Amino acid sequence: MQYTVAQRLPPINTTQREAIIIGTGLAGCASAYHLGQSQWKIHLFEQHAHCATQASGNPIGVIHPYISVNTSLEACYYDASIKAFLSYIQQYPALYHPTGVIQLAYNSKRQQQQQRYLQQRPPTLSVQSIPANKVEDYTHVPSSYPGIFFPQLGFIRPLALCQHYLQHTAQLAIHYQTTIASIQYYNGLWHVFDNQQHCQASAAILILCNAATVQQFIPWLEVQLTQGQLTYLPPYALSSFPKTVICHQGYLLPSFEGKYIIGASYQKPHQRGLSLTAQQYNLSLLQQHLPQLHTPSSLPQLTGRTAIRVSTRDHLPLIGPIPDATAYLKTFQAIRQGKTLADNITVPYLPGLYVNTAHGSRGINSSFFGAQLLAQHLCHQHQALQAMPFIHPSRQLIKQLRTGHNIHSRLK
C-alpha cells in the first residue's frame, strides 16, 4: 500500500525531553499532561489570561457516543478515543458526571440506524435499547421517541479538566497573555515569537494546539470553522428536569449551577457574540424533538455562550507531524502518476513540528486520545499513531496529490 510509505512517521531527532505547546484549550492541556507523564519539560503559551477560554470554555461538555452502522475510520477512531478517555476519567469521580446519555431516534432513519448499531456495534460501551414509553424512567423527561441509552457516558466541565491536566504536569512553565505571532526553525530548534517579535522560548519540539488560528502557522492545512451557540434555560422554562443528557438533533443537559443548557447551533463564524437566530434555533429543536416538555418558544433575553469549533472535511482530527508541504508534494508526485514508491524513500517533514487540533464536536475524548498518541510517538512508541494514518496531517497532501487540486497558493 503506497500511502503507508508516504505516511511513515519521522524519527525523533532529539534526546531533550522538552517541548513548546501553543494553546491552553483541551488539546494543549492534554498534550502537556501526557508529555509531563513522561518527564517532559513543557513551555505552554496562551494568548488569554487563563486556560480554556475558547471552545474549551463551555460550562459543560458531553461525551457523545459515535453511532455508526459500519466500521468506518471515524467510528474506529472515536470508539477508541472514548474508551481511552473513560478509562482515564473514571479514576477521577470529582471531574466526571456519568449521568448516562440517551440518543433519541427522532425519525425513521435514526430508528433504523440505531437498530443496526445495536446488532453490529463494537463492544466498547454498554448500551441499552429504550422504548418510547420507558424513556422518562431514565431521563425524567417524557418522550414520544425511543432511543438508545449509554449508562457509562455523561459530561465533564472542560475548564476543570484543563486545570486538572495542568495541575498534574510537573515541569510546566505557563505563559499567559502571550500571543505567539510567528514561529521559526533554525539551529535545530523551533523558536516562538510574540507580537513584539521577541523570542519567548526555543525547543526541538513544537506542538500546535491553537485550533482556530492553526492556519496562521501552517496555511495549507484545511480546517473548517463553525460557530456554535449554547442557550441557558432557567428552571422555570422547563416543565420537567432531565437527570441524564438527552441528545436529539441538539441536546438538553441536566442542571448545572442552577441552569439547563441546550445546544448547540452550527453557523458560519461571521459574527461575534450571541445571536438571536441561533437561540431560536436551539429552542425550536427542543420543542420539535421533546414536544411533551413544555418550554417557551422564545426567551426574554439573549443568554448562553458562543465559540468556534474547528473540524476537517473528513470529520477526523489533525494529529501528528507536519510535512514540509513543498518537498512532500515533489517527492510524492509518483502517487499522482500511479507509480510504486521506493520503500526506502525519506518522507520530508518540518523537523519536530506537530499538531493536535480539529477535534470538531468531540473534543473532550478526541483531544485526550490525540495527545496520548502524540506523546507515545514522541517517546519512541510509534505503533499506535502509525496505525492511524487517517488522522495524520499528511493525508490532506495525499488527497491533493490524488485529486490533482493545486494548493501551491497556500504554501508558504
60-68, 166-174, 197-205, 377-385 -> range binding ligand FAD (CB under 6 A):
60-68
**Minimum gap (Å) between residue 112 Cβ and ligand FAD:** 25
Q: Which residue, 43 or 359, is less far from ligand FAD as judged by CB?
A: 359
Q: Is 246 in the site for ligand FAD (CB under 6 A)?
A: no
210 binds ligand FAD (CB under 6 A): yes
Q: Which of 10, 17, 54, 394 touches ligand FAD by CB under 6 A?
A: 54
- Which of the stretches 1-9, 61-69, 339-347, 392-400 binds ligand FAD when contact is defined by CB under 6 A? 61-69
Select the residue interacting with ligand FAD from 98, 228, 352, 389 (CB under 6 A): 228
> Nearer to ligand FAD by C-beta: 245 or 388?
245
Cell 445571536, residue located: 275
209 is a site residue for ligand FAD (CB under 6 A): yes
Does position 312 interact with ligand FAD (CB under 6 A)? The reply is: no
393 sits near ligand FAD (criterion: CB under 6 A): no
Q: Rule CB under 6 A: say whether 189 interacts with ligand FAD.
A: no
Q: Does 163 bind ligand FAD (CB under 6 A)?
A: no
Closest CB 15 distance from ligand FAD, rounded Å: 28
Smallest distance from the beta carbon of 29 to ligand FAD, in angstroms?
7
Closest separation between CB of residue 109 and ligand FAD, Å? Answer: 23
55 binds ligand FAD (CB under 6 A): yes
Chain positions 348 to 377 lying near ligand FAD, rule: CB under 6 A, are 357, 359-364, 367
Q: Which of 309, 377, 392, 395 binds ligand FAD (CB under 6 A)?
A: 309
Decide if residue 117 touches ligand FAD (CB under 6 A).
Answer: no
23 near ligand FAD (CB under 6 A)? yes
For CA atoms 319, 201, 214, 227, give the dihedral sign.
positive
Spatial distance between the Cα atoms of 372 and 14, rounded to a whole number of angstroms: 19
Using CB under 6 A as the criterion, which residues of the chain lie in contact with ligand FAD when the complex forms?
Answer: 22-28, 45-48, 53-56, 58, 61-62, 64, 179-180, 209-213, 228, 230, 263-264, 307, 309, 357, 359-364, 367
